Amino acid sequence: MSQIHVTATINGDETEFLCDPTETLLDVLRDHLDLTGSKEGCGSGDCGACSIILDGRLVCSCLVLAAEAEGRSVETIEGMAEGDKLHPLQEKFIEHAALQCGICTPGILVAAKNLLERNPNPSEEEVRYWLAGNLCRCTGYDKIIRAVMDTAAEMRGAA
């Protein structure tokens, strides 16, 4: 099976990789590019642990073929902080203890960031339903929702 050469912008860096036609973007991120922050929770787009942003749109990277990333922009959890400076959402998640085992955390942060880019002033209901595609088995979600609401308020204040 011949491999496909793909050029994509990943977390702002132009990146080239070779992939099999059947490989998912999640597998390429994890296995070829050492970006293991995106996790495989189900492999069927139901848990959100592999959430990334593809050309501004929140997607499950397990449902995207790697070849589809050609010429597009990919944002993963690894690109969320600027160097050592954490994104406000990351800081608030720590402050609110909005994580336990941490394996759903990258996907939830990516999803929450995408929400706040679309809607800087979401209602709590909007946050709860936006994050309904990201499963968390540990926290019970309350701290996550509070952290997102608090971040949104703070970012609005700073803007």
Partner 1 sequence: MTRVKGAAHQDLAHDSAVKHVSGAAEYTDDIPEPVGTLHAYLGLSDVAHGRIAAMDLTAVRAAPGVVGVLTAEDIPGANDISPTGSGDDPVFPEKTVEFHGQPLFAVVATSRDAARRAAAQARIEIEPLPHALDPLAAIEAGYPEVTAPLTLQRGAVEDGMAAAPHRIRGRMVIGGQDHMYLEGHIAFAHPGEDEDVVVYSSSQHPSEAQHMVAHVLGVPSHSVVVNVRRMGGGFGGKETQMNLFAAVAAMAAKKWNRPVKIRPDRDQDMVATGKRHDFVADYAVGYDDNGRIQAVDGIFAARCGFSADLSGPVTDRALFHADNAYFYPHVRLTSRPMKTNTVSNTAFRGFGGPQGVIVAERMIEEIAYALGRDPLEIRKANFYRDGGDVTPYHQVVEDNILERIVGELENSADYQARRKAVIAANAKGDIIRRGIALTPVKFGISFTATWYNQAGALVHVYNDGSIMLNHGGTEMGQGLNIKVAQVVADAFQVDIDRIKITRTTTEKVPNTSATAASSGTDLNGMAALDACEQIKSRLVEFACETRGVEPGQVEFLPGRLRIGDEEIGFDALIKQAYMARVHLSAAGFYKTPKIHWDREEGKGRPFYYFAYGAACAEVAVDTLTGEYRVERVDILHDVGKSLNPVIDRGQVEGGFIQGMGWLTTEELWWDEAGRLRTHAPSTYKIPLASDRPRVFNVALADWSQNAERTIKRSKAVGEPPFMLGISVFEALSMAVASVADYRECPRLDAPATPERVLMAIERLKGTA
Contact flag: residue 151 with partner 1 (CB under 8 A): no
Residues sharing a CB contact under 8 Å with residue 9, sequence separation 6 or more, in sequence order: 15, 72, 73, 74
By DSSP bridging, strand 13-19 and strand 4-10 are antiparallel
Q: Identify which of residues 71 and 141 has a Cβ nearer to partner 1 in the complex.
A: 141
Q: Identify which of residues 71 and 115 has a Cβ nearer to partner 1 in the complex.
A: 115
Q: Identify which of residues 132 and 153 has a Cβ nearer to partner 1 in the complex.
A: 132
Estimate to the nearest angstrom the gap between the alpha carbon of 99 and the chain centroid. 15
- The letter for the amino acid at 10 is I
From the list 70, 71, 101, 156, which residue makes contact with partner 1 (rule: CB under 8 A)?
101
- The letter for the amino acid at 58 is L
For residue 28, give both structure tokens. 């390429």
Cα→Cα distances 52→25, 35, 37, 147, Å? 10, 12, 10, 20
Q: Identify which of residues 35 and 152 has a Cβ nearer to partner 1 in the complex.
A: 35
How many residues touch partner 1 under the rule CB under 8 A: the total is 53
User: How far, in Å, CA of 88 to CA of 137, rounded?
Assistant: 24
Question: Which x/- pattern over 105-134 shows residues binding partner 1 (rule: CB under 8 A)?
Answer: xx--x-----------------xxx-xx-x
Residues that bind partner 1 (CB under 8 A): 22, 30, 34-44, 46-47, 49, 76-78, 80-81, 86, 90, 93-95, 97, 99-106, 109, 127-129, 131-132, 134-145
